[in-house]
Structure 1
Amino acid sequence: MRPLRLIGEFLEKGCDCLWAGSLNKKEGQYLLVIARPRGVSCLNHHENGEHYIGKGEFLMIGEPTRIVYVIGHKNPDTDSVCSALGYAYFKNLTDKRYVYTPARAGKVNEETHFVLERFGVAIPTEIESLIATVSDLEMKKPISVHERDSVQALALLMREKGVRSLPVVDDRGRFSGIVGLKDIARHYMESVGFTDITEAPIVVDILLKTLEGRVICNSGKIEHLTGKIFISAMQKGTILNKVRPGDIVIIGDQYDIQLDVIRSGCSTLIVTDGMPISSNVVSAAQERGTLVISSAHDAFATVQLMTMSEPVSSIMSGSNPTVGLYTPLSVLRERILESEYRSAVVVDSERRLIGFVTRTDLLHTVRKRVILVDHNEISQAVDSVEDAEILEIIDHHRVGDISTVAPIYVYNDPIGSTCTVVAGMMFLHQVSIPQDVAGLLLSGILSDTLLLTLSTTTDRDRETAGRLAELAGVSLQEYGKELLHASIDVGNKTALELIAADFKEFLISGKKLGVSQMMVMDCEQIDLMEEELLSELERLRVANGYDLTVLLVTNPLSSSQERLLLKGETWIVEKAFNVKVEEGTCILPQVLSRKKDFIPAVGQVLSVSRTETVR
């Protein structure tokens, strides 16, 4: 399967699903990377660097604040998914302020699967909630230190970057702990007067970097320094009485004492001030295996720097809170307030460092940006839509209950499909529509109008479908049959699966309704499952507090009637359509459109009923 042009590019073949919307590589614009590696995590390479992505995780690339999700309703149908894909494509071509990312609010049905595979388009990412998360923050590439870096290197880095704390990582980039200025101060205070490093060995390589030193002889023979430290600031006899095998001696250009302490068995001789070292001293050291180091600093500075040569791991704390990219910001705030360092570390599933967040990162309100397509009611929208910033609504349904703080762009046209609306915008702006995009939009129109036969179908739908079929390179009639066949497959599905496939919730005049619609080629299939379906409708009604649950069953080969299965306040349907409901079923003499026929008729009854009740 190849992803939609300008919506995604496969970066890693070893993944079940991985795409990144590389809209314009020259400008460095990216959408979203979705990775589901087979069994293990993978490393993605792209122009902005390298990012590790854990199994089944998401990772933002670029600026999260520029991302706008284009998303349809829950229990997405083909029109909902295809209009989101098509409108994201259109917006990315006509508006460079944001990066528009197509998304879905649930599992795609079999018909939509068929459409996406037919035109080689990757399934949009699923969004379960629009609540602001860590991924919405403008996180820069985190500054970190390695656990083997010296305390001095840490201090210099913190001074250079002007930060008070830093995360610590291991060889694989995994978070090990955190270290702050107070840890450095505590370490320095505790090391005052230290003379024995047996309990805290110093790594020779780190020491050399700290001292700006070099090994004169026996390089590589000793990796860690242990034992007591002596400074040669006393008479020859005194120091020789104190030094024991394995100890460390810091000394100046005292040639005779250098030889004597080597013969006494010291493990390391550190010569200060970059003083020249006699060949006799070097020979004696080589003979006894003594490590000789030349330090660029004087004795006092050398001792101080030795205290700063311990690895960061010896002073770091491992108690700082960690969060993932999809941790809600409300949880992040709590963890930062509880943290001793007033920060939190962002990691992936394998604790690899992704970001570092402090209190200052949370000073401003952060919300996801979203465009709603094919719906405008909270009950049908993805969870926490009220917490997001809605930029636009593109729809063809009745006006629902979604409200916004600021004025927004709304395009609501009472035609057969949202895909017709989207295609109309592309025609109006003379946007080039590639074959795969045309195929998507055509599919949404044919699906939502039942092959242009429902009462919602307009001349614009028919005209648009014809133009899109030509652009997609398909026969309108033949492709319509393919689509119809893909959408009508009862198979071995359960009653819940059949009802949930195209289920919408409505709140009308104080009544809560759940209305599903399905197509079948043979009504005998429904006869066999009638009890099951009615039982599931009742279970859904009770579990979700619906006043009425309805299943509209349509046979597309017969336009003469519609079968209804319903539970709850069935009088609403009886009054709306002048029929009698018996044992939870009834037959209507015409094929219904849920949005144009069923909901308006039911809404009229409920509106009148409510008015009469008030009187």
Structure 2
Amino acid sequence: MSDNQKDRKVYVVGHKNPDTDSICSAIAYAELKRRVTGKNYVAKRAGTVSEETLFVLNQFHVQEPALLQNVFQQLKDVDIRKIDGVSSQASVKEAWAMMKENSIRTLPVLKDQKLEGIITIGDIANSYMELHDSHLLSEARTQYRSIKDTLSGEIITGNEHAYFIKGKVVIAASSPDMMENFIEPDDLVIVGNRYESQLCAIEMDASCLVICQGAEVSRTIKKLASERDIVIISTPFDTFTTARLINQSIPVKHFMTRDHLTTFHVNDYLEEVKEVMTKKRYRDFPVIDKKGRFTGFISRRRLLKPKRKQVVLVDHNEKTQAVDGIEEAEILEIIDHHRIGNLETMGPVYFRNQPLGCTATIIYQMYQENQIKPPKEIAGLLCAAILSDTLLFQSPTCTPMDEATARTLAKIAQIDVVEFAKEMFKAGSNLANKSVAEICFQDFKEFHVNELTFGVGQINSMDKEELEEIKEKICPKLVEVLKESGLDMVFFMLTNIVEQSTELLCSGGNARETVMDAFELSEDTEDIILNGVVSRKKQLIPTLVSEMQQ
């Protein structure tokens, strides 16, 4: 297995508005997959964690999973072309050599890994078109060391770290008498092995002499040049070649593009990137990471084959309940205990769906199948999930397997199921500081039937008075909740665990009529009390769906 395959993250995530089972199963299954495969499985959450779930996580000292807002494809899912950049002081020749070596046409100019600009083959071509400008080298503040390196030469006298900042480039091909007419102070003079020409350039206060064809430099010339801080560079090239190459010593900062750059961030979504690219004619676009560092270039061609985010879904298989962008992700597995929903996959996946009261029960089975004993904290999470989903074994969805599994896990976690469940449900129904929307959507699931879309929220409590307080808070605002959700109908279950009953609040469309007909309630019914109904999955949803389909 390659390091890239090991490091690539696989997100294990439950449904939106996650409940305790959704969070705890994701954490436990990610741990199991890491131990079995050695790959980087990471537990995530698709929404805000409830008070009940926070209580469970805190009890077992487990960190809350990070939020996975969506799994839309981003630039970080694309094969970004990595390339080392050059500094702004690098010569055009160095930039060209790097482009040629890497078969690229665009090069980043970096400082401390931050993007200062970009230089392209077109920019380098323009530098050659400006050869007629003899002041170009000084205007670009070219370092003598760069000139020396470009000409494959050596410094005979002077400071190679100094800069050519004033004057022009001239070729001393004339007699000394003629040279006096066009050489000015601070010029850079290209000369051959003629002593008189070299001496004349020094007397005219040239700042630099470039001696061609590796000609010997006399002691006198060296002495005079040193006294006047004149740089002498010896190059093996002839005069023509030297004159042709010398502009390649100009630093790239003089030709690079630094303003109005079109850059992208690694977290940008591909759809947005494609839209920007259609309006630009550039070949390569720089990509920046979250710390502002240059990471590489992206081109249109590289957007054609992005890597889909890999996900494992637990405790759901409905598209409306899945994290946004699921259609763009690669679903590897689905572990669930609900009805088969409308989620489609790109290809075959491992789909494990069992008629049990809780996904956590299935997860523990998988631990056993792999002969792995869950650690104390994982056992505690799985046990809490079962107690939550089965309402302490009181829900009709609870099977003997669920109860036996919970009691086994409780022993590993060293907890008393009854006492722990009471504390957990009490924490979950403590909604004093929450808004109506937060209460309604903390355990809320959406469903599709024919052309209808409806949502069902649920609060479980062992305290009748507490449920009455929640009802008084929710009822006046339920119409606003319906509008905010954008659904056709909204139902809210106030479930009394002790009395094994649910008071159902509803809003929108024919919501009340649907419930009345579905449960065959009398027309004079005011409060909708559903005795014996405590399970959203097994009792409420199937009954409502059957009525809506008719």
Q: Fold conserved (TM > 0.5)?
A: yes
The amino acid across from 2:514 in the alignment is I
Please state if 1:572 is matched with 2:525.
no
Match of 1:493 among 434, 457, 468: 434
Q: Shift of the alpha carbon at 1:184?
A: 1.4
**Per-residue deviation, residues 284-314 of structure 1 (Å, max 9, x unmatched):** 1222122223334333333233211112222
Give the whole-Å Cα distance in 2 for the aligned partners of 1:221 and 1:573.
Answer: 86
Please state if 1:243 is matched with 2:183.
yes
Q: Shift of the alpha carbon at 1:347?
A: 1.0
Give the whole-Å Cα distance in 1 for the aligned partners of 2:297 and 2:526.
Answer: 58
Give the whole-Å Cα distance in 2 for the aligned partners of 1:179 and 1:156.
Answer: 13
Give the whole-Å Cα distance in 1 for the aligned partners of 2:3 and 2:300.
Answer: 29
Residues 81-90 or 296-305, more deviating: 296-305
Please state if 1:302 is matched with 2:227.
no
The amino acid across from 2:26 in the alignment is A
Give the whole-Å Cα distance in 2 for the aligned partners of 1:144 and 1:337.
Answer: 26
Match of 1:156 among 97, 103, 110: 97
Q: Say how many residue pairs are matched.
A: 547
The question of whether the paired residues in 2 share the 8 Å contact of 1:245 and 1:264 is answered with: yes
The question of whether the paired residues in 2 share the 8 Å contact of 1:197 and 1:228 is answered with: yes
Q: Equivalent residue for 1:370? A: 311
Please state if 1:125 is matched with 2:70.
no
Match of 1:282 among 203, 218, 222: 222
Give the whole-Å Cα distance in 2 for the aligned partners of 1:355 and 1:441.
Answer: 43
Q: Equivalent residue for 1:601? A: 543
SS of 1:86's partner is helix
Match of 2:302 among 335, 356, 361: 361
The amino acid across from 1:424 in the alignment is Q
Q: After superposition, where does 1:412-431 map in structure 2 within 5 Å?
A: 412-431=353-372
SS of 1:160's partner is helix
Q: Shift of the alpha carbon at 1:232?
A: 2.1
Residues 460-469 or 291-300, more deviating: 291-300
Residues 471-480 or 106-115, more deviating: 471-480
Give the whole-Å Cα distance in 1 for the aligned partners of 2:50 and 2:184.
Answer: 79
SS of 2:139's partner is coil
The amino acid across from 1:258 in the alignment is Q
Q: Shift of the alpha carbon at 1:161?
A: 0.6
Q: Equivalent residue for 1:74? A: 16
Q: Equivalent residue for 1:329? A: 270
Q: Equivalent residue for 2:503? A: 563
The amino acid across from 2:427 in the alignment is A
Give the whole-Å Cα distance in 2 for the aligned partners of 1:243 and 1:582.
Answer: 110
- Would the alpha carbon gap of residues 537 and 242 (structure 1) be closer, same or farther in structure 2, given more than 3 Å must change? same
Unpaired runs of 5+ in structure 2? none
Q: After superposition, where does 1:177-196 map in structure 2 within 5 Å?
A: 177-192=117-132, 194=134
- Would the alpha carbon gap of residues 470 and 188 (structure 1) be closer, same or farther in structure 2, given more than 3 Å must change? farther
The question of whether the paired residues in 2 share the 8 Å contact of 1:204 and 1:225 is answered with: no
Please state if 1:554 is matched with 2:516.
no
- Would the alpha carbon gap of residues 164 and 221 (structure 1) be closer, same or farther in structure 2, given more than 3 Å must change? closer
Q: Equivalent residue for 1:341? A: 282
SS of 2:458's partner is strand
SS of 1:411's partner is strand
Please state if 1:88 is matched with 2:6.
no
The question of whether the paired residues in 2 share the 8 Å contact of 1:489 and 1:520 is answered with: no
Match of 1:401 among 342, 347, 350: 342
The question of whether the paired residues in 2 share the 8 Å contact of 1:517 and 1:553 is answered with: yes
Please state if 1:586 is matched with 2:543.
no
The question of whether the paired residues in 2 share the 8 Å contact of 1:570 and 1:581 is answered with: no
Match of 2:395 among 454, 457, 464: 454
Give the whole-Å Cα distance in 2 for the aligned partners of 1:538 and 1:427.
Answer: 47
Give the whole-Å Cα distance in 1 for the aligned partners of 2:289 and 2:161.
Answer: 39
The question of whether the paired residues in 2 share the 8 Å contact of 1:110 and 1:487 is answered with: yes
Give the whole-Å Cα distance in 2 for the aligned partners of 1:175 and 1:550.
Answer: 53
Unpaired runs of 5+ in structure 1? 1-23, 32-61, 611-615
Q: Equivalent residue for 1:442? A: 383
The amino acid across from 2:273 in the alignment is L
Q: Equivalent residue for 1:315? A: 255
Q: After superposition, where does 1:7-46 map in structure 2 within 5 Å?
A: 28=3
Q: Shift of the alpha carbon at 1:545?
A: 4.3
Give the whole-Å Cα distance in 2 for the aligned partners of 1:577 and 1:446.
Answer: 27
Q: Equivalent residue for 1:385? A: 326
Please state if 1:538 is matched with 2:479.
yes
Larger Rg: 1 or 2?
2
- Would the alpha carbon gap of residues 113 and 530 (structure 1) be closer, same or farther in structure 2, given more than 3 Å must change? closer
Match of 2:162 among 222, 238, 262: 222
**Per-residue deviation, residues 470-526 of structure 1 (Å, max 9, x unmatched):** 333444344334433332311221111111111111113443221111134544344
The amino acid across from 1:247 in the alignment is D
Q: After superposition, where does 1:517-528 map in structure 2 within 5 Å?
A: 517-528=458-469
Q: Equivalent residue for 2:41? A: 100
The question of whether the paired residues in 1 share the 8 Å contact of 2:437 and 2:481 is answered with: no
Q: Shift of the alpha carbon at 1:465?
A: 1.7
SS of 2:344's partner is coil
- Would the alpha carbon gap of residues 529 and 416 (structure 1) be closer, same or farther in structure 2, given more than 3 Å must change? closer
Give the whole-Å Cα distance in 1 for the aligned partners of 2:119 and 2:518.
Answer: 69
Give the whole-Å Cα distance in 2 for the aligned partners of 1:532 and 1:67.
Answer: 42
SS of 2:408's partner is helix
Give the whole-Å Cα distance in 2 for the aligned partners of 1:277 and 1:196.
Answer: 27
- Would the alpha carbon gap of residues 191 and 431 (structure 1) be closer, same or farther in structure 2, given more than 3 Å must change? farther
Q: Shift of the alpha carbon at 1:197?
A: 3.6
Match of 1:254 among 194, 197, 203: 194
SS of 1:421's partner is helix
Q: Equivalent residue for 1:263? A: 203
Residues 572-581 or 504-513, more deviating: 572-581
- Would the alpha carbon gap of residues 178 and 535 (structure 1) be closer, same or farther in structure 2, given more than 3 Å must change? farther
Identify, as 1 or 2, the structure richer in helix. 2
Give the whole-Å Cα distance in 1 for the aligned partners of 2:212 and 2:376.
Answer: 75
Q: Shift of the alpha carbon at 1:74?
A: 0.6
The question of whether the paired residues in 2 share the 8 Å contact of 1:70 and 1:101 is answered with: yes
Give the whole-Å Cα distance in 2 for the aligned partners of 1:29 and 1:366.
Answer: 12
The question of whether the paired residues in 1 share the 8 Å contact of 2:91 and 2:248 is answered with: yes
**Per-residue deviation, residues 101-131 of structure 1 (Å, max 9, x unmatched):** 3222112222222333333333323222222
Please state if 1:232 is matched with 2:172.
yes
Q: Equivalent residue for 2:454? A: 513
> What percent of counterpart residues are identical?
36
The question of whether the paired residues in 1 share the 8 Å contact of 2:143 and 2:161 is answered with: no
SS of 2:44's partner is strand
The amino acid across from 1:503 in the alignment is F
SS of 2:178's partner is helix
Give the whole-Å Cα distance in 2 for the aligned partners of 1:453 and 1:275.
Answer: 100
The question of whether the paired residues in 2 share the 8 Å contact of 1:73 and 1:105 is answered with: yes
- Would the alpha carbon gap of residues 334 and 495 (structure 1) be closer, same or farther in structure 2, given more than 3 Å must change? closer
Q: Shift of the alpha carbon at 1:192?
A: 4.7
Q: Shift of the alpha carbon at 1:582?
A: 7.7
Q: Shift of the alpha carbon at 1:320?
A: 4.3
**Per-residue deviation, residues 46-86 of structure 1 (Å, max 9, x unmatched):** xxxxxxxxxxxxxxxx5xxx433221111111211221222
Give the whole-Å Cα distance in 1 for the aligned partners of 2:120 and 2:281.
Answer: 10
Match of 2:79 among 122, 138, 147: 138
Give the whole-Å Cα distance in 2 for the aligned partners of 1:496 and 1:521.
Answer: 22
Give the whole-Å Cα distance in 1 for the aligned partners of 2:18 and 2:500.
Answer: 27
Please state if 1:202 is matched with 2:142.
yes
Give the whole-Å Cα distance in 1 for the aligned partners of 2:353 and 2:163.
Answer: 73
Please state if 1:483 is matched with 2:424.
yes
